[in-house]
């Protein structure tokens, strides 16, 4: 990514005065954010860091946590067991919708909406609540590369006002998706949302996903590489609330946003990107964050379907493989020969 330092500087100047949107207010503690905060961080898989603005300003991770806890549940339960409990279908509904969890679906649509994320928290293994929390914090520590902590006032605020999430948990219990320890599961979910991060941390976490699960700074393994494609798939299809489709179309980067104003994006085998600005739109996405991602995608051809497309080993007809490829396939893909 040549020109990257100059370009993020340009984007920072370009969008720092964009003041549309508002602070998330449904969790009272989040209204204390400073609307001027703005940061862009990029961490490459080689561990290079490019950032500008308030990249060390702390905030709570909120919904971005769902990505990483889903990865942990994949490791704890495996893919098929998880799929029985939580689907991978985009909803087009708001993140906290209760409508989709009904008699027809029998399970939450995906792990990026609250119903699916609460179900995911219910699958985290541990002998008791403390062990589950400690395992979760250790997982975040591996991704971030330093000790982590929970913002207690945000956690208490979520717990005191999370009536809708409590309703979702009751529905999940009714459908047999979670066990009858609702308050413990909700606490774990509220704690994951209240994890303290900054924009730099988020870029390192995204870069870990881009680097086959290995934190590019500390070299510690955050997650087994075999689960990265599951995580990136749900990020790509469900990560941006009910804007996920347009995001895939315009930006084309597996991403996840949170109502505190962060957005992470993963460029597989290349880099992690994070933007932080707490002014969000009605769907819950950071407005400056979306602008920055769209511009970066355009400038550096980061859309997943930009040419050149990633190389496919199936089509890589090298000298020593050609004999093993059936005639028909060779014919179909050999565009140099006349039909």
* Residue numbers belonging to the annotated binding site: 63, 114, 158, 165, 189, 241, 259
Q: Is the separation of the CB atoms in 203 and 41 below 8 Å? A: yes
- Greatest alpha-carbon span in the chain: 70
Neighbouring CB atoms inside 10 A of 36's CB total 13
From the candidates 15, 143, 189, 236, give the one annotated as an active-site residue: 189
| Nearest CB to ligand GLU, comparing residues 26 and 300 | 26
Exposed/middle/buried for 151, CB within 10 Å: 0-12, 13-18, 19+? buried
User: How close are the terminal C-alpha atoms of the chain, in Å?
Assistant: 40
Chosen residue from 259, 264, 287, 296 binding ligand GLU by CB under 6 A = 259
299 classed as catalytic = no
Annotated catalytic residue within 41, 63, 157, 286: 63
Distance CA 267, CA 273 (A): 8
User: If binding means CB under 6 A, how many residues of this protein chain bind ligand GLU?
Assistant: 11
Radius of gyration from C-alpha coordinates of the chain: 21
Q: Residue 63 catalytic?
A: yes
Least Å distance between CB 150 and ligand GLU?
A: 12
Under rule CB under 6 A, residue 158 binds ligand GLU:
yes
In the bound complex, what is the minimum distance in angstroms from residue 119's beta carbon to ligand GLU? Answer: 13
The distance of closest approach from Cβ of residue 23 to ligand GLU in the complex, given in angstroms and rounded to an integer, is: 13
Task: Give residues 34-63 in contact with ligand GLU (rule: CB under 6 A).
Answer: 62-63
x/- string (CB under 6 A) for ligand GLU, residues 172-201?
A: ---------------------x--------
Q: Which of 161, 159, 178 is nearest to 169 (CA)?
A: 178
* Least gap, CB of 31 to ligand GLU (angstroms): 14
CB under 8 Å to 206, separation ≥6 — which residues?
Answer: 43, 264, 265, 266, 271, 272, 273, 274
114 binds ligand GLU (CB under 6 A): yes
**Helix H or strand E encompassing 331:** helix 327-333
Instruction: Report the Cα 331 to chain-centroid distance in Å.
Output: 41
Query: Can residue 165 be called a binding residue for ligand GLU (CB under 6 A)?
Result: yes
Q: Are 203 and 255 in contact (CB under 8 A)?
A: no
258 is a contact residue toward ligand GLU (CB under 6 A) = yes
Contact status: 96 vs ligand GLU (CB under 6 A): yes
Q: Which of 41, 45, 65, 66 is catalytic?
A: 66
**Footprint of ligand GLU (CB under 6 A):** 62-63, 95-96, 114, 158, 165, 193, 258-259, 284
Q: Which residues are catalytic?
A: 63, 66, 189, 241, 259
């Amino acid at each position: 990514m040549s020109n990257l330092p100059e370009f993020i500087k340009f984007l920072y100047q370009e969008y720092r005065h964009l003041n549309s949107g508002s602070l998330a207010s449904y969790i009272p503690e989040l209204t204390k954010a400073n609307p001027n905060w703005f940061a862009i961080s990029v961490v490459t898989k080689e561990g290079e860091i490019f950032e500008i603005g308030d990249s060390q300003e702390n905030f709570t991770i909120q919904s971005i946590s769902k990505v990483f806890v889903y990865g942990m549940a994949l490791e704890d339960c495996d893919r098929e067991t998880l799929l029985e409990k939580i689907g991978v279908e985009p909803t087009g509904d708001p993140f906290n919708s209760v409508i989709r969890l009904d008699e027809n679906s029998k399970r939450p649509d995906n792990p990026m909406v609250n119903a699916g994320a609460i179900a995911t928290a219910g699958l985290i293994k541990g002998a008791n609540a403390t062990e589950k929390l400690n395992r979760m914090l250790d997982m975040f520590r591996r991704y971030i590369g330093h000790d982590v902590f929970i913002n207690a006032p945000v956690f208490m605020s979520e717990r005191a006002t999370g009536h809708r999430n409590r309703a979702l948990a009751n529905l999940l219990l009714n459908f047999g998706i979670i066990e009858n320890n609702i308050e413990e599961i909700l606490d774990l979910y509220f704690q994951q949302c209240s994890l303290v991060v900054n924009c730099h941390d988020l870029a390192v976490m995204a870069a870990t996903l881009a680097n086959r699960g290995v934190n590019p700074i500390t070299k510690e393994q955050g997650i087994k590489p075999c689960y990265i494609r599951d995580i990136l798939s749900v990020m790509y299809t469900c990560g941006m609330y009910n804007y996920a489709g347009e995001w895939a179309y315009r930006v084309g980067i597996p991403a996840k946003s949170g109502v505190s104003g962060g957005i992470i994006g993963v460029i597989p085998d290349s880099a992690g990107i994070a933007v932080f600005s707490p002014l969000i739109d009605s769907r819950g996405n950071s407005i400056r964050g979306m602008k920055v991602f769209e511009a970066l995608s355009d400038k550096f051809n980061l859309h997943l379907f930009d040419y050149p497309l990633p190389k496919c080993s199936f089509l890589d007809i090298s000298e020593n493989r050609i004999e093993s490829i059936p005639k028909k396939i060779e014919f179909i893909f050999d565009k140099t020969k006349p039909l």
